């Protein structure tokens, strides 16, 4: 029996949680979280040589499971401890507050900040096209009227000068 069969038998439509970290039987430390995988690699914890990752999904949205060695290349950083640190990272009493100078604190902070920036950009107000005559401007939905008028005025001036950018 393949130790990964339990993942293939998930009910249709059910997704593996993005923040899932686990230790599959015989598979070693692993995660479906790409940000965590990035932080682990950044502190020298290598992928498993024989199977760095595997994709699951079938009819579901594909999920990638990353597999890691038990310790970093230097032998000083344990993968399972860093996965636990990731899960207990923030807050006044979180792992990072207790270990502020650990290399993983920097790597995890960078990965989490990247994820937050991406989420911020995706969740911001959508872009809309505002048209006045033959002049178009792209603005954020909900932009103040004064700002909208300034952008349209600039676009109109540029249009009159022949700019088509």
Q: What are the structural domain ranges in the chain?
A: 5-123, 127-160
Dig out the tokens for 33 from the structure.
């979280």
User: What is the end-to-end Cα distance of the chain in Å, rounded?
Assistant: 60
pTM for the structure as a whole: 0.61
pLDDT digit string, tens, across residues 123-149: 887 777 877 777 677 787 777 888 777
Distance from C-alpha of 19 to C-alpha of 32, rounded to nearest angstrom: 7
Tell me how crowded residue 108 is: count the other CB atoms within 10 A of its CB: 25
pLDDT exceeds cutoff 50 at 11? no
């Amino acid at each position: 029996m393949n130790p990964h069969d339990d993942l293939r038998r998930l009910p249709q439509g059910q997704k593996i949680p993005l923040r899932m970290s686990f230790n599959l039987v015989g598979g070693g430390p692993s995660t479906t979280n790409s940000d965590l995988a990035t932080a682990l690699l950044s502190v020298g914890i290598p992928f498993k040589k024989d199977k760095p990752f595997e994709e699951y999904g079938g009819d579901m949205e594909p999920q990638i499971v990353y597999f890691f060695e038990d310790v970093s290349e230097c032998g000083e950083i344990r993968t399972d401890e860093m996965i636990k640190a990731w899960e207990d990272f923030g807050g006044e009493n979180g792992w990072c507050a207790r270990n502020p100078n650990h290399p993983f604190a920097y790597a995890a902070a960078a990965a989490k900040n990247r994820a937050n920036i991406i989420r911020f950009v995706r969740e911001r107000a959508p872009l809309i096209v505002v048209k006045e005559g033959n002049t178009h401007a792209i603005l954020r939905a909900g932009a103040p009227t004064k700002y909208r008028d300034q952008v349209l005025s600039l676009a109109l001036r540029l249009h009159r000068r022949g700019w088509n950018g």
